[in-house]
Chain A
């Protein structure tokens, strides 16, 4: 069986290499047959990789310890459900997963490519398949999942305890897909440059792919935060850790890209800028994959340590040099079709948005590389952590939320100052009201009050847009719900974007509440004792221990009261894995829209006492709810549009004439 996996892996490499070379040579030599055959090779590549993946998954499920990779990342004691996803627990399997996903997305992108990108499609195919070749080749030479041990061990070493969580099904696949997927819009941009196209042909296709990948990466990041919150056991969801930053870094220019691509779509502007943005996003995405595959900075999330880091670094360098080389070569053909008319315009707002996202990315990168600088120049090892990132990136994020309330209200081309003031009147009133009210109700500090106010302002900006459009449709005889739904359906990219904005506001809201108003305390309790934190009181009843084949599970029995009333029974605990000398935590959480009560049981002593760490984390639920909201917004944005606008205008114009 394992041989089959190796064979299909080799075949996929041959097919991908053929697809890459065939596309390029076929295009140069004007041999359409060669280009077509290369395209079919590109379609076959993911099929071969799918067979390899199926073989690897089967090896995990059937505990085939002849394979070094299976023996190293699973054992017979692990939960059976986990064996189905254990294949991406380490380097080798992650590489296979990345190659499978990327070649699959590539095949889909090539197959579904619309007519306008066809002239440059062979170049795009070349870029896509060259990236695929890199992943398969590195996997086969440095991290082959099908390497067979001379003697099969009786049992495997087991999986990293931190990965034993239902999140394993969702977080690694979405994050990896979100990172590698940035290569798809990147390939369309590079294909456009290589093909010497003069217009905006690549823009629509790249936008669709960028949005799909944006949604996936966003979900990947949020799932990572959720996973960290429930299992890493430090009561938080984001620590500005190097690996977390590596996931956030590509998200920032990608978000900038999905905004500024709208300007090119609508106005034919920012042509150079959009290509530069997607190249940067791909650069950061490769950096993210490099960090996860054995980066130089220590992190709590490094699961796949290896020596292949430098290969990724070289690949990253080659990609950037080639991409920017092409960019400057084609620079002259990327002139804007229209001038910028005013600083008070939606175009200018998009530029500022791009600048802010890039600045966040750069200051984050600066915090990541600065320890390397001090190490080299002063020989001193330092830590750059939360205090730096909060102070430096926080205000920039806040500025983005402010911009989010202004930008969508600005018209294209130009606006006058007084009209802007009129547009902003309602959001500003709501923003000031929210900030003022949160001060009155106890937000003692300036910054969180400001942040809450800004959230209110941005929400009001969106509400105003929706109310305005709905009102007009209602006046034409539609009931409010129908008018609202039809409004959203009438311009899905725009209103889908607003829905995604709501999700971002929810994240900002939750981040503000939880970073400024979290409370925590430690308690050591004997059975029957109680502890109080804020309005909550917990009673420790006792603990249980259960010895399983690969771990010892400890859990505490806790009764939780709020203002004297019983609310929930919680079982916080942890599982200790002797073979890894590591524990995986299970927090006891009572979640409400207002705050989470979060209990960790960190130690059980011989005298029967238990050590608890209790957190009150406000507004966390909104962070998790933001995920589905943003996905929904992305789907609405992407939903194919029918040409309804013309009909709507005709109707409105008639109605107007009869007024």
Chain B
């Protein structure tokens, strides 16, 4: 009886969340009404900044120069130039800073490579640190806290949540007193 109602709400929840997300996502993801050339032109617009307005790409800027750049860019697409050629045309005129982000080559490779390398290194460091944390024994067995009662309340909460898991049939009470089980134990028994 209990389990049947649980499944029912679970299914309802799936339907609701799922429905809401897909309905909204779907409405926004219909095909673009723009022509292929215009789509290409706009993605180029987004990769070029207007040289006289700090940090604004030409698709956003409303300055005259940005409008002229957009016109030139579209003419060059009509002439059949490649994206790289078009970007180079503007770099030759205004310098490297006309690109919204530097190209992935030469000295600028440093900028693009540093973040993924940094993230990878940080993950490695985290792995080493956590491993050493797992081997280390605690310096003090109890928490030295101020006069706060809520660590007790939270311990109680864990019991409560463990009981919730038991209620749901996701865990069984181990041989201990109900008052001493914690979530970790509940999780372990779940795995059995």
Residues of A with Cβ closer than 8 Å to B?
114-117, 198-201, 204, 233-236, 239, 241-242, 265-268, 298-300, 335-343, 345, 348, 351-352, 355, 358-359, 362-363, 366-367, 370, 374, 377-378, 380-388, 392, 396, 411-419, 422, 426, 429-430, 433-434, 437-438, 441-444, 448, 452, 455-456, 459-460, 463-464, 467-469, 471-472, 474-475, 490-491, 509, 513, 517, 519-521, 532-534, 593-595, 600, 602-603, 613, 618-619, 622, 641, 643, 645-646, 648-649, 652-653, 656
B39 closest partner in A (C-beta): A519
Are B9 and A471 in contact, with the CB atoms below 8 A?
A: yes
Are B122 and A520 in contact, with the CB atoms below 8 A?
A: no
Closest 6 CB pairs of A and B: A116-B146, A618-B28, A416-B191, A441-B26, A234-B60, A298-B54
Consensus secondary structure, chain B interface:
helix
> Complex: how many Å from CA A150 to CA B176?
84
Are A653 and B150 also in contact (CB < 8 A) when A233-B62, A387-B101, A645-B156 are? no
CB distance from A313 to the nearest CB of B (A): 21
> Complex: how many Å from CA A352 to CA B125?
11
B107 closest partner in A (C-beta): A378
Are A336 and B139 in contact, with the CB atoms below 8 A?
A: yes
- Specify which chain B residues have a CB less than 8 angstroms from the CB of A201 in the assembled complex: 145-146
Are B134 and A340 in contact, with the CB atoms below 8 A?
A: yes
- Specify which chain B residues have a CB less than 8 angstroms from the CB of A412 in the assembled complex: 158, 182-184
Are B33 and A602 in contact, with the CB atoms below 8 A?
A: no
Can you list 22 A-B contacts (CB < 8 A)? A114-B146, A115-B147, A117-B146, A199-B143, A239-B56, A268-B143, A335-B140, A339-B136, A359-B115, A381-B96, A384-B102, A384-B111, A388-B112, A411-B187, A434-B17, A438-B21, A459-B17, A460-B17, A475-B2, A521-B38, A532-B33, A649-B163
Q: How many residues of B are counted as interface, with CB atoms below 8 angstroms from the partner's CB atoms?
A: 99
- Specify which chain A residues have a CB less than 8 angstroms from the CB of B28 in the assembled complex: 513, 517, 594-595, 618-619
- Specify which chain B residues have a CB less than 8 angstroms from the CB of A438 in the assembled complex: 21-22, 25-26, 29
Are B178 and A643 in contact, with the CB atoms below 8 A?
A: no
> Complex: how many Å from CA A117 to CA B191?
42
- In the complex, whether B84 has a CB less than 8 A from a CB of chain A is no
- Which chain B residues numbered 108 to 160 have a C-beta less than 8 Å away from chain A? 108, 111-112, 114-116, 118-119, 122-123, 126, 130, 133-140, 142-151, 153-154, 156-160
Are A594 and B96 also in contact (CB < 8 A) when A267-B143, A656-B167 are? no
Are A339 and B25 in contact, with the CB atoms below 8 A?
A: no
Are A520 and B27 also in contact (CB < 8 A) when A199-B144, A336-B138 are? no
- Specify which chain A residues have a CB less than 8 angstroms from the CB of B160 in the assembled complex: 490, 645, 648-649, 652
Are A459 and B146 in contact, with the CB atoms below 8 A?
A: no
- In the complex, whether B37 has a CB less than 8 A from a CB of chain A is no
User: B119, B138, B184: which contacts A414 (Cβ < 8 A)?
Assistant: B184
- In the complex, whether B164 has a CB less than 8 A from a CB of chain A is yes
CB distance from A433 to the nearest CB of B (A): 5
- Specify which chain B residues have a CB less than 8 angstroms from the CB of A649 in the assembled complex: 156, 159-160, 163
> Complex: how many Å from CA A351 to CA B99?
37
Are A337 and B167 also in contact (CB < 8 A) when A363-B118, A443-B29, A519-B32 are? no
- Specify which chain A residues have a CB less than 8 angstroms from the CB of B108 in the assembled complex: 374, 382
Are A426 and B102 also in contact (CB < 8 A) when A239-B55, A381-B97, A412-B183 are? no
CB distance from B66 to the nearest CB of A (A): 10
- Specify which chain A residues have a CB less than 8 angstroms from the CB of B22 in the assembled complex: 433-434, 437-438, 441, 452, 456
